[in-house]
């Protein structure tokens, strides 16, 4: 009889039937979706179509534009501005790698080592968001000023000799060089790397580290074999959140760079707002969009985290 009364409690209670509550009115979801989706269709999707059509128009501001299927605009735009395209990708990629290298230790620190300081550090990561990013970017002009302490130190350590030789800086200057632009991009998009990294690191059960250590893994091996693989979703979404906006950015190149560091965003901006050559600007924007979508798709496939989106 005793076994009857000593049945252990179940480890997992019977699976509940998780279903949405019964909903009356099958049109309700469509009413909920309608306003927001309409907004996105009219002001996000439709403009893309308009832009595509603008890119194959010819004409002038005075006489108006007509769709003439003038695909040569694409050829002309790309052959003229390919250096800016390449620069955009190169700068954005460098900034993304730097963000990952700088952001990972901080995200790791917040997730595992911060203890009671965790919330405070989190606030300090997010708080700069509340100061306009333009003001903060301008502050880099002061930090990297010619003859300032940062440049002075780099000069003394002969770092600038190396970077000048690599073409990242020129002479005694950091401002108005590719290094300054990449530095600004890294700075501006660093929180977008840290937050997703933190989110995926924080989900890792701390006991996994202990288990790996218990199974003869050195700390560095624990990181390579356990922590880093488990943080991959954060790495992938962090790199995307950094790379995509960095590629299209023109603020850092304008404020911290020079005419020689122009990115594709600068070109699109000036074609649209100053030169008023709408077909060329639309073609460039369309090419940028296609290029980024292609790169992102390829990247997501490669990293095997398609469920990310």
Partner 1 sequence: MTTNTTKNQKAATDGGGDVRLAGIGKTYGSFTAVHPLDLTVPEGSFFALLGASGCGKTTTLRMIAGLEEPSSGTVHLGDQDVTALPPYKRPVNTVFQSYALFPHLDIYENVAFGLRRRGIKSVKKQVGEMLDLVQLGEQARKKPHQLSGGQQQRVAVARALINHPKVLLLDEPLGALDLKLRRQMQLELKRIQTEVGITFVHVTHDQEEAMTMADQVAVMNAGRVEQLGAPADLYENPRTTFVANFLGTSNLIEAEVDTRGGEDVVVKAAGDKLVLPGARCSAPAKAGGKVLVGVRPEKISLTHADDAGSIPEGRNRITGTISNTSFIGVSTQYVVDCAACPEFEVYAQNIDRDPRLAPGAEVVLHWNPAHTFGLDAAQDIDAGVAEGEAA
Partner 2 sequence: MAFVTSFKNWFKRNLVVIAGLLTLAYLLLPNVIVTVFSFNKPNGRFNYEWQQFSTDAWKDPCGVAGLCGSLSLSLQIALWATLGATALGTAIAFALVRYRFRARGAINSLIFLPMAMPEVVMAASLLTLFLNMGAQLGFWTILIAHIMFCLSFVVTAVKARVMSMDPRLEQAAQDLYAGPFQTFVRVTLPIAAPGIAAGALLAFALSFDDFIITNFNAGSTVTFPMFVWGSAQRGTPVQINVIGTAMFVIAVLFVLASMVIGNRRNRRKA
Which 1-40 positions form the footprint of partner 1 (CB under 8 A)?
Answer: 1-10, 13-17, 21-22, 24
C-alpha 32/C-alpha 224 separation (Å) is 46
The answer to whether 96 and 187 are in contact (CB under 8 A) is no
| Nearest Cα to Cα of residue 97 among 270, 276, 243, 298 | 243
- Which residue lies nearer to partner 1 by CB, 13 or 35? 13
- Considering only residues 34 through 73, tell me which ones interact with partner 2, judged by CB under 8 A: 35-37, 39-41, 43-48, 50-51, 54
- Which residue lies nearer to partner 1 by CB, 24 or 274? 24
User: From the CB of 216, what's the least distance to partner 1, in Å?
Assistant: 36
Q: What share of the chain is helix, strand, coil (3-state, %, to 5)?
A: 75, 5, 20
- Which residue lies nearer to partner 1 by CB, 17 or 306? 17
**DSSP H helices in 249-277:** 251-256, 264-270
Rounded alpha-carbon distances, angstroms, from residue 284 to 261, 266, 280 = 17, 11, 6
Q: Taking contact as CB under 8 A, which single stretch among the options 79-87, 104-112, 166-174, 200-208 is the one that binds partner 2?
A: 104-112
The distance in angstroms from the start CA to the end CA of the chain is 55
Reduced to 3 states (helix: H, G, I; strand: E, B; else coil), residue 263 is: coil
- For residue 64, which phi and psi values (nearest 5 degrees)? 90, 165
User: From the CB of 14, what's the least distance to partner 2, in Å?
Assistant: 14
- Which residue lies nearer to partner 2 by CB, 143 or 232? 143
- Considering only residues 119 through 158, tell me which ones interact with partner 2, judged by CB under 8 A: 119, 121, 123-143, 145
For partner 1, how many residues bind (rule: CB under 8 A)? 18
Residue 230 in contact with partner 2, rule: CB under 8 A? no
For 27-90, the DSSP string reads: THHHHHHHHHHHHHIIIIIHHHHHHHHHHTEEEETTTEEEE---THHHHHHHHHHHHHHHHHHH
Give the count of beta carbons closer than 10 Å to the beta carbon of residue 70: 16
User: From the CB of 231, what's the least distance to partner 2, in Å?
Assistant: 13
- Which residue lies nearer to partner 1 by CB, 21 or 206? 21
User: From the CB of 169, what's the least distance to partner 1, in Å?
Assistant: 56
- Considering only residues 267 through 296, tell me which ones interact with partner 2, judged by CB under 8 A: 268-269, 272-273, 278, 281-282, 285, 288-289, 292-293, 296
User: From the CB of 15, what's the least distance to partner 1, in Å?
Assistant: 6
Under the rule (CB under 8 A), what is the footprint of partner 1?
1-10, 13-17, 21-22, 24
């Amino acid at each position: 009889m005793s076994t009857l009364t000593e049945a252990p409690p179940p480890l997992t209670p019977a699976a509940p039937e998780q279903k949405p509550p019964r909903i009356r009115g099958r049109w309700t979801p469509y009413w909920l979706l309608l306003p927001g989706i309409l907004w996105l269709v009219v002001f996000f999707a439709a403009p893309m179509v308009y832009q595509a059509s603008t890119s194959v128009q010819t004409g002038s501001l005075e006489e108006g534009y007509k769709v003439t299927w003038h695909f040569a605009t694409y050829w002309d735009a790309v052959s003229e501005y390919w250096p800016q395209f390449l620069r955009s990708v190169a700068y954005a990629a460098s900034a993304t790698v730097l963000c990952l290298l700088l952001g990972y230790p901080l995200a790791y620190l917040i997730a595992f080592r911060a203890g009671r300081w965790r919330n405070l550090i989190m606030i300090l990561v997010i708080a700069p968001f509340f100061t306009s990013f333009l003001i903060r970017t301008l502050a880099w002009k002061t930090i990297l000023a010619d003859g300032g302490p940062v440049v002075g130190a780099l000069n003394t350590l002969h770092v600038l000799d190396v970077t000048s030789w690599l073409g990242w800086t020129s002479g005694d200057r950091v401002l108005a060089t590719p290094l300054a632009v990449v530095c600004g991009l890294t700075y501006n998009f660093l929180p977008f790397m840290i937050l997703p990294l933190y989110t995926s690191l924080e989900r890792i059960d701390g006991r996994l580290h202990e288990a790996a250590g218990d199974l003869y893994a050195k700390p560095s091996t624990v990181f390579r074999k356990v922590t880093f693989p488990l943080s991959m979703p954060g790495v992938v979404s962090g790199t995307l959140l950094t790379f995509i906006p960095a590629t299209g950015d023109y603020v850092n190149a304008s404020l911290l760079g020079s005419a020689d560091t122009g990115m594709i965003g600068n070109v699109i901006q000036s074609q649209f707002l100053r030169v008023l050559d709408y077909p060329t600007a639309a073609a460039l924007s369309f090419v940028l969009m296609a290029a980024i979508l292609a790169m992102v798709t390829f990247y997501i496939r490669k990293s095997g985290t398609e469920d990310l989106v």
